């Protein structure tokens, strides 16, 4: 094109066009802005969704925004009726504990969730930590959510609540604390056991009596004798885990007891029945990787009487 001017004209196929300024037919073709982008079409007013559907809205005039709002509301309602992941985990942990022991407690649920290690429960039982929540591997918010889900599950299953006394595995048997705050209402929630409704009244009383029984006092026979008492700095053949660390029998006020090794079930049974203070002696087995009972500590006078009665014809 000789004049180098630009013009627009709709061309179809191999149609020849001439420049309106110089009438030249040697022109080069280029895409116009209309060919590339097109024109804005008017918004069609149509309906979405079947008749009667909560999603049936009319496009245009805010219809799409209304559709998004309704979808969000329906999704929120569905989430409120569907169990959350924590509720499902709590239900599984509670079902397992209930099937195993005919009752379930908050400690069983926290242990089943993997938030509370059995070793930490043992430390708490020995009064070596101030409260149970200190050794739970979860925040207070998650613990509260799990406890609420557990109570809701227990009520839906028709389980029967029973308050249980949790006493320390120490000589004074003082009550243990669950929460960091020590709130009485929260302590009551923690110490409530939920018992299976299918148990007979007699069986239910046995479960409650066993759960409320004071824990046995445990004394350890150490493999090594180079341990040091946390109170007096001494040592000995036996130690008791209490408070801040290990104690000798003298500091634990158990040095008046006499060791009775396992072997004679009759003497052991009679000595335990008559002894006002006694303790179970355990020793760690390297082969089985666990503590095993090896005897008891009982009062000396009671042991002599039990042994004398066993020797009578």
Our count of domains for the chain comes to: 4
Q: Where are the alpha helices (DSSP H) in the chain?
A: 33-37, 63-81, 85-101, 106-112, 118-125, 140-157, 184-190, 201-211, 265-274, 300-311
Say yes or no: 32 and 60 in one domain. no
Residue 267 and residue 302: Cα distance in Å, rounded? 10
Q: Residue 70: count other Cβ atoms within 10 Å of its Cβ.
A: 16
Coil, strand or helix at 220: strand
pLDDT score at 106: 96
Residue 22 and residue 5: Cα distance in Å, rounded? 9
Say yes or no: 158 and 75 in one domain. no
- Kindly state whether residue 50 falls inside one of the protein's structural domains: no
Running DSSP on this structure, what letter comes out for residue 148?
H
Say yes or no: 162 and 176 in one domain. yes
* Contact residues for 8 (Cβ-Cβ < 8 A; gap 6+): 32
Say yes or no: 151 and 77 in one domain. no
- Kindly state whether residue 237 falls inside one of the protein's structural domains: yes
The residue among 184, 211, 238 that closes a domain is 211
pLDDT score at 23: 63
Say yes or no: 97 and 198 in one domain. yes
- Kindly state whether residue 45 falls inside one of the protein's structural domains: no
Say yes or no: 277 and 243 in one domain. yes
State how far the alpha carbon of 246 is from the alpha carbons of 8, 15, 222, 281, in Å.
Answer: 98, 104, 11, 15
pLDDT tens digits for the chain (313 residues)? 456 666 677 666 666 767 766 666 677 776 655 454 554 555 444 444 444 444 454 444 455 666 666 666 766 655 555 557 899 999 999 999 999 999 999 999 999 999 999 989 988 998 889 999 999 999 999 999 999 999 999 999 999 999 999 999 888 888 999 999 999 999 999 999 999 999 999 999 999 998 888 888 889 999 888 899 988 888 888 998 877 778 899 888 888 999 999 888 888 888 888 888 899 999 999 898 888 999 999 998 888 888 877 666 5
pLDDT score at 51: 47
Residue 282 and residue 259: Cα distance in Å, rounded? 12
Say yes or no: 90 and 207 in one domain. yes
Say yes or no: 177 and 90 in one domain. yes
Say yes or no: 274 and 199 in one domain. no
* Contact residues for 115 (Cβ-Cβ < 8 A; gap 6+): 136, 137, 138, 142, 143, 146
Look at residues 142, 159, 140, 149 and name the one whose alpha carbon lies nearest to residue 88: 149
- Kindly state whether residue 74 falls inside one of the protein's structural domains: yes
- Kindly state whether residue 47 falls inside one of the protein's structural domains: no
- Kindly state whether residue 49 falls inside one of the protein's structural domains: no
Q: Which domain holds residue 73?
A: 56-82
pLDDT score at 93: 95
Residue 97 and residue 255: Cα distance in Å, rounded? 39
pLDDT score at 213: 87
Say yes or no: 194 and 116 in one domain. yes
298 - beta bridge partners? 258
**Whole-model pTM above 0.75?**
no
Return the ∠ at Cα 68 (arms to 67 and 73), rounded to 5°.
100
The residue among 179, 211, 243 that closes a domain is 211
Say yes or no: 90 and 139 in one domain. yes
Say yes or no: 98 and 194 in one domain. yes
């Amino acid at each position: 094109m000789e004049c180098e001017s630009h013009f627009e004209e709709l061309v179809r196929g191999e149609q020849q066009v001439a420049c309106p300024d110089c009438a030249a037919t040697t022109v080069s073709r280029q895409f116009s802005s209309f060919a590339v982008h097109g024109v804005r079409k008017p918004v069609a007013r149509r309906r979405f969704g079947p008749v009667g559907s909560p999603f049936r809205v009319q496009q245009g005039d805010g219809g799409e925004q209304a559709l998004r709002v309704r979808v969000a509301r329906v999704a929120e309602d569905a989430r409120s009726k569907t169990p959350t992941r924590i509720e499902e985990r709590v239900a599984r942990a509670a079902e397992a504990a209930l099937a195993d022991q005919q009752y379930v407690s908050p400690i069983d649920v926290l242990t089943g969730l993997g938030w509370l290690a059995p070793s930490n429960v043992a430390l708490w039982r020995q009064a070596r930590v101030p409260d149970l929540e200190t050794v739970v591997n979860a925040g207070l918010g998650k613990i509260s959510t799990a406890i609420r889900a557990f109570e809701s599950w227990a009520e839906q299953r028709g389980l029967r609540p029973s308050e249980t006394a949790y006493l320390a595995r120490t000589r004074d048997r003082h009550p243990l604390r669950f929460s960091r705050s020590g709130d009485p209402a929260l302590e009551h929630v923690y110490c409530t056991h939920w018992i299976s409704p299918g148990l007979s009244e007699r069986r239910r009383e046995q479960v409650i009596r066993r759960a409320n029984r004071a824990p046995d006092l445990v004394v350890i026979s150490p493999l090594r004798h180079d341990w040091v008492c946390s109170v007096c700095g001494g040592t000995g053949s036996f130690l008791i885990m209490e408070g801040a660390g290990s104690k000798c029998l003298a500091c634990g006020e158990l040095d008046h007891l006499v060791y009775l090794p396992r072997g004679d079930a009759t003497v052991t049974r009679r000595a335990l029945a008559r002894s006002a203070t006694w303790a179970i002696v355990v020793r760690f087995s390297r082969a089985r990787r666990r503590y095993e009972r090896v005897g008891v500590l009982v009062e000396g006078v009671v042991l002599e009487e039990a042994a004398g009665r066993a020797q009578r014809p």
